[in-house]
Amino acid sequence: MVCLVLLAATTASGLDARYHTYEEVAFELDSLAALYPDLMLVDTIGVSTRDSMVIWSVKISDNVDVEEDEPSILFHAVHHAEEILGLEIVMYAMNDLLSNYASSSQIRGFVDASEIWFVPIHNPEGHKVVLDSLDLSFRKNKRDNNGNSIFDYTPGIGGDIDGVDLNRNYSLNWIHSTDQWISDYYRGPAPFSENEARAVRDLAQAQRFAIALFYHSARSGTKEIVYYPWKWGGKYPPDFPIIDDLARELASRIEKDGGGETYDYQVSGARESFARDWFYANQGALALLVEVGSDIHPPGGAVDDICERNLEGLYYLIRRLHGMGDASGAALTGRITDGSTVDPVAA
């Protein structure tokens, strides 16, 4: 649907030049906002914990400067520094929505009836470690855990003294995640101790997303799968039939890299401080995580195809906001109004 043009043919890192650097994302967001000022709004929601790098949010909607009474959905990428495919999917989707708005009635319907939000790089300082080829397997942010003002990391998997796993820094079940600095899964000194996690928390509280999708890529373990809340001690959450159906349908719309099969889906049994569980329990969002790609850093020539196939799932979720793509025709949003004024009331 859309082909992205990057600024440089080569990068200084060991990664293919197809992958966006932080600077390329900044340039592209500015360019898109200038081209589509009525449809796209770029904002700063925070800065990273150590290097104070800007964390962006992007809103795509008609009347983009107005808070309308429309359902909102979030697509989020780069909790973990090395998991860079999600950024490419998010950038691809934004380009597709904007460039096809005028010509596609489906896209125009999505944009006119929804508030579509993106966080392209949640962990900019960790992402830069990877794109600068300091450590292609770095996962965390760069919190100075031992307070020595030196970035203490060890190239290769694990062994990094500094940094917090941002997807273990949410308040729900924080106590169950590890308190060991050197772990790739270190939870941080306190729930929401990290600027990055607080930035996304505050965005969620302000926007009350109906659906949230978190893009990850598995270094090890199961790939090309959708995870969703939850099965803890044999118990499921109250909305389990709805979120189970949503996960199954999302997975069925994303073709695996090898072709012929679609993504798997699985309820999560892990009880740690994951974003998806916090978003569901604390904000009421139907929150899913998708592990994209059969390789964490596929060749650049494969990236557009992965993005295109994941676009099918992304657009399915937007359709479900409005009761499209479901046999019942039931939307996943509702409206609460004041009985006297008929004004919307925050849920």
- Which residues 6+ apart lie within 8 Å of 20 measured at CB? 6, 28, 84, 87, 88, 91
Q: 62: closest CA among 103, 116, 118?
A: 116
The residue written with tokens 């798997």 in the block is: 264
Residues 90, 120 contacting (CB under 8 angstroms): yes
Q: Is the dihedral of CA 63, 32, 60, 278 positive or negative?
A: negative
Active site residue 24: no
Q: Which residues, listed in sequence order, are joined to residue 235 by a DSSP beta bridge? A: 232
Q: 153: closest CA among 50, 76, 77, 20?
A: 50
For the chain, the straight-line distance linking the first and the last C-alpha, in angstroms and rounded, comes to: 37
Q: Is the dihedral of CA 124, 317, 73, 195 positive or negative?
A: negative
The size of the chain, in residues, is 347
Q: 137: closest CA among 161, 121, 153?
A: 153
CA 290 to chain centre: 9
- CA–CA separation, 170 and 278 (whole Å): 7
Token pair listed for 17 = 């030049």
Tell me which of 88, 272, 291, 312 is the catalytic residue. 291
Q: Which residues, listed in sequence order, are joined to residue 292 by a DSSP beta bridge? A: none
- Which residues 6+ apart lie within 8 Å of 179 measured at CB? 186, 187
The residue written with tokens 């708005």 in the block is: 101
- Side chain identity, residue 30: D
Q: 3-state class of 277 per DSSP?
A: helix
Among all residues, which ones are annotated catalytic? 291
